[in-house]
Chains A and B, each alone.
Chain A
Amino acid sequence: KAGVTQTPRYLIKTRGQQVTLSCSPISGHRSVSWYQQTPGQGLQFLFEYFSETQRNKGNFPGRFSGRQFSNSRSEMNVSTLELGDSALYLCASSHRGRGRDGELFFGEGSRLTVL
């Protein structure tokens, strides 16, 4: 069974640009959540999508947005990039009702560097 796939793995952008990151969840998983990981703040919850609907949202500005498609694939977008947006962006999938509670399956992440 293929794991969670994130693309691109690495990317470099400049301030003011926008970026779109993609996540393909494990087959059959309908929930996709996104996290930002930085050395100073650790893992911070961005948002979660389930069946194409945003179900939960963290405390990030509106520049951070996402969506989920009918095949459960998800994208997140960051507009008007700032230096502080440099981070590892992790996607995680879950299929509620299978496996253990609290278990998310993470991808390897997309490492974004903003110059």
Chain B
Amino acid sequence: GQSLEQPSEVTAVEGAIVQINCTYQTSGFYGLSWYQQHDGGAPTFLSYNGLDGLEETGRFSSFLSRSDSYGYLLLQELQMKDSASYFCAAQLNQAGTALIFGKGTTLSVSS
């Protein structure tokens, strides 16, 4: 079957750096996306890796290694507002409209 594995919970303090790992097993893979979801809110797009390597977007970076079927999301200079659930998602079609999501990592940031 197709699956993505990521840790269920991560805790950190303000100002710290945290890395959320994601390993995937899918048939047909075009890239890995990351989404953030606050309680009661809609998932919002954070980052995408279509090729191996690092993508940086402000305080967030994402990495992909296709040979290892592995990626991670790196969050730097953590803020309280970063407390949320983070999902990795494998893109299964070229159009990028069919995604398989991991079950999510709940990040708790404390002061």
- A residues with a Cβ closer than 8 A to B are 4, 31, 33, 35, 41-45, 48, 50, 55-56, 90, 94, 96, 100-109
Interface residues of B (CB under 8 A from A): 30-33, 41-45, 48, 50, 87, 89, 91-93, 95-104
Query: Main SS of chain A's interface residues?
Result: strand
Q: Is A90 within 8 A of B42, CB to CB? A: yes
Measured CB to CB, the nearest residue on chain A to B85 is: A42
Residues of A within 8 A of B45 (CB): 100, 102-105
Name the contact of A102 in the complex, choosing from B41, B43, B50 (C-beta under 8 A).
B50
Contacts A31-B97, A96-B96 given; does A108 touch B102 at CB 8 Å: no
Q: Cβ of A101 and Cβ of B31 under 8 Å apart?
A: yes
Determine if B42 and A107 form an interchain contact, defined as CB atoms under 8 angstroms apart: yes
